[in-house]
A and B are shown apart, each in its own frame.
Chain A
Amino acid sequence: MSALLFFIAAIGAISGAVGVVVLRDPFYSVLALVGHLLSLSLLFLLLRAEFVAAVQVVVYAGAVMVLYVFVVAYVGDSGSSLGERLRRGAGAQIGGARLRFGSALLGGALLVELLIALLGSGLKAIEGYGASYSPGPRTYGTPAYIGNLLLTRFLLTFEVASFLLLIAAVGAVVLARRRGGLEDGSQELLTPLGLARPRGTGTMAEGVTGLAFALSHDRGGANGEREEQSEPAIVGGETPDGEGGW
């Protein structure tokens, strides 16, 4: 039974992967990936990682892929149709068939190597089945088990991962902010303590003290401090629009 499930899941995973790589339309690739993810979660279940399987479905296939779908819907499938590529002429020939062939070769080599490494390395244990099934409230693979591990042995990892998520969230918000670009011209962010400082020379002082020494958001400035500055601006209610550059 498990063998059958394994093969179903394996075939699903691999075909999903193939679909992602091969399909032209990014929307179809996303769908293929979703299928792949679901197969993978089945594989996880077979490996007695119930919690991880559930997380895979809920988070990965549920949230991340939805995100992808949104973006694909927004962006569309510009720039990857065959006709356009042919029309572009010489510029589209960068790589082309040669690179496709080369990368396939490279990937194939990688595959062979990995297989040798994983399977041929003489690990006896991979011939086995691993831990046996023994049901219980806190046995291997249950959420309680994972939770216990997370909060004891892997506490730091847990905290760092959450911090990482926070950073990503902030970054995403910043990235997706509307910016006017060079053509819009820049609007000065006037402060009561404006200091004369040449444009574009953001210093650590600006970054650390926020608005106090910020004179103007101009184009081409260092992005790091700007992001720090603009956060308080938005929080404080001032939303200068049409600021320069990014």
Chain B
Amino acid sequence: MSATTYGWLVLLFPLLGTLVIGFGFRVLPGRTAGWIATAAIGLAFLAALGALIAMQGEPPAHRELTASLWSYAVTVGVNVHVSILVDPLSVYMILIVSGISTMIHLYSISYLEEDRGFARYFAYLNFFVFSMLLLVLAGNFALLIVGWAFVGAASYLLISFWYRRSTATRAGIKAFVINVLGDAGLVLGTYFIFKHTGTLEYLGVFKAAPHVFHSGEADIVAGCLLLLVGAFAKSAQIPLHTWLPDAMEGPTPVSALIHAATMVTAGVYLIARMHVLFELAPAAQDVGAIVGAATLLIAGTIALVQTDIKRVIAYSTMSQIGYMIMGVSVGAYAAGMFHLMTHAFFKALLFMGAGSIIGAMGGEQSLEKMGGFRKAMPFTFACFVIGGLALSGIPPFSGFFSKDEILLVTAERGGWHWALYVVGYIGAFLTAIYTFRMIFRAFYGEPVAEARELESGHLHHAEHPTNPANGELEDTDVGFPGPHHTIAERALPMRIAMSFLAIGAIGAGLIQIPEVDQVVVNFLRPTFAGSPLYEPHTRDGLLVFGLILGTLLGLAGIAIAYRIWVKQPVIAVAARLRFGKLYELLWHKWYFDEAINLLIVRPAAGFGRWARDTFERIFVDGTLVGGSTGIVRAGSAAVRALQTGFLRYYAALLVLGVGALGLYFLLQS
């Protein structure tokens, strides 16, 4: 079978999974829905492997394969075909997406075991994977936009999965609104590009772009900036990032899949895919790099003071995506994609571990209430440590290799990019600190009551389930989390999933050790052929310097975290008091939410109120609606006045009519 047939199969299996579960959820017994969903994604992964093998069977120059299923719309000027593009970049992405998704589906089967929305969850999750695969496999802008929108919709459905929680629904709406803003940017950017190239198909656009656009021309810059708006909204970069921390309202596997491994990487994928266009718009590239670096730093600082364990990991995601965005914006395509893969492994692993410890706490997510779980949950602890070390960039874990490569290429661009280089390493330092702050606070120290319970073999359950975000009481009926919690130590599917990811977190770096093997670079080369930025000329001195610096910063961060949160917690309290203003700024997440509320939400709400009170009331209701009804009413009143019922009036009318008729004939003759 050809690679593109495998591509269609990759799309087909999750779609079938969604439909089967969605339509048959009433007849599927017990947890079958979960197994069906996992099998669907597993089959998709196998199909992705098949696509990989089939594609690698072609010579490198012929590895960009498209196939079109049918023509959706062929009109004057715009031809939209349902076509996919199977090339190294998309195969890379679908392998990551389907592989990680399979593990997360497996994990979810245990995590949501007695939730009343079990089947609904898996239908949504399969739909999400389908959308993400569609986004990645799309062969033209139209299908990209479709996948983009579907992914946003799936994200909304999954964030507000426990829909009776007011915080969850609000978070879902917030995510959706910001995503829609990104959608608008994406569509408008597509317009600007389509205006000159005349086609929506990727291969056509990329072939035509260098001839149609001059470097730095207004339209291409505008188009790329708008595409960046889409990328930033989806990948939670400043200033469109405010939805990601709130999105932690969704179940933990959702956070693992969508907000760590796949959906938030869509922006990175977009920039990498559109590299031909971005290289024609250096201004857009610079904007991307600066925004990525800014996000990296700001998110890192915020993560230092967060107390909700999932939010710490969320800000960490934001920071790492910042790395990736920065990477693909300065031309480190292979490095950025490599970091995407390693990050998917260890971030999903961290989230899964967080899910486990939240289960041990009976639904409580605050770090301030956790402590000393090391003895009670050894497996989870090990996974956290592996994930944390990978995240902090300690060799030989995977994060080490990928992160430093990005910063290396950044430095090689020269000029003001050195500032980004410095920022990147500061971010790495902060990453190590907040990651191990989280680990030390949760697992070291005096065991809390729940940990002691667990040590004696009893899993803690909250008496009255509450919303961890605002403490509201809730019941465990539909729309709320189920009464069942589980931890990794007790659930085999969770352990299997986490083990796979742990292996990946440890060993995935080995495929791209600098100077030793270049698997990712070689693999992706056919996609990026023709890009002058692709082949880095690695300066060995800088490379070694960077690697050592990265390691040192990582270890220093761990050491500082150890000193503060294991040895002398009083330092943290003292620092908080001394740097009060700074602490406030970080605690309120740099006041982005407040700023957006002030600048956008309030004016919009005010405008809405004005429209309702003034415009709607006076103009529409009064004039248009009232006026037309008034006219009709007056007219009918006038006619009604004729119907008096007085015989004599009728007689008079008759006579009048006869007279008029006669008059007419008289005048005629």
Contact = CB atoms under 8 A, between A and B. Distances in A.
Contacts of B473: none
A117 B655 contact: no
Interface string B626-651: 00000000000000000000101100
Interface stretch (B60-68, B162-170, B656-664): B656-664
B655 A107 contact: yes
Which secondary structure dominates chain A's binding surface? helix
B659 A109 contact: yes
Given A94-B646, A95-B646, A99-B648, A106 B656 contact: yes
Q: Which of B655, B658, B659, B663 has the most CB of A within 10 A?
A: B659
A113 B659 contact: yes
A21 to B, nearest CB: 13
A110 B652 contact: no
Contact of A117 (B646, B649, B656, B666): B666
B656 A113 contact: no
Contacts of A132: none
A116 interface: yes
A103 B652 CA distance: 7
A104 to B, nearest CB: 11
Nearest to B660: A113
B669 interface: yes
A107 B655 CA distance: 8
Interface size class of A (residues with CB under 8 A): 10 to 19
Contacts of A99: 648, 652
A113 B662 contact: yes
Interface string A98-133: 010011001101100110110001000000000000
Given A95-B646, A121-B669, A113 B663 contact: yes
A225 B628 CA distance: 44
B646 A106 contact: no
A113 B652 contact: no
A113 B662 CA distance: 7
Interface in A69-103: 94-95, 99, 102-103
Contact of B666 (A107, A109, A113): A113
Contacts of B669: 121
Contact of A116 (B648, B656, B666): B666
A114 B648 contact: no
Contacts of A94: 646
Contacts of A102: 652
A117 B648 contact: no
B659 A110 contact: yes
Given A94-B646, A95-B646, A117 B662 contact: yes
Contacts of B655: 103, 106-107, 110
Given A94-B646, A95-B646, A113-B659, A106 B652 contact: yes
A65 B433 CA distance: 121
A113 B649 CA distance: 20
Contact of B659 (A95, A106, A121): A106
B571 to A, nearest CB: 92
A205 B669 CA distance: 53
A121 B655 CA distance: 21
A109 B659 CA distance: 8
Contacts of A109: 659
B510 to A, nearest CB: 89
Contacts of A106: 652, 655-656, 659
A29 B621 CA distance: 60
Nearest to B653: A106
B652 A114 contact: no
Contact of A95 (B648, B658, B662): B648
Contacts of B646: 94-95
A106 B660 CA distance: 11
A110 B658 contact: yes
A196 B512 CA distance: 92
Given A103-B648, A113-B666, 17 more contacts: A95-B648, A95-B649, A99-B648, A103-B652, A103-B655, A106-B655, A106-B656, A107-B655, A110-B655, A110-B658, A113-B659, A113-B662, A113-B663, A114-B662, A116-B666, A117-B666, A121-B666
Interface of B: 646, 648-649, 652, 655-656, 658-659, 662-663, 665-666, 669
25 contacts: A94-B646, A95-B646, A95-B648, A95-B649, A99-B652, A102-B652, A103-B648, A103-B652, A103-B655, A106-B652, A106-B655, A106-B656, A106-B659, A107-B655, A110-B655, A110-B658, A110-B659, A113-B659, A113-B662, A113-B666, A114-B662, A116-B666, A117-B662, A117-B666, A121-B666
A-B interface, 9 closest residue pairs, ranked by CB to CB distance from nearest: A110-B659, A113-B662, A106-B655, A113-B659, A117-B666, A117-B662, A110-B655, A103-B652, A109-B659
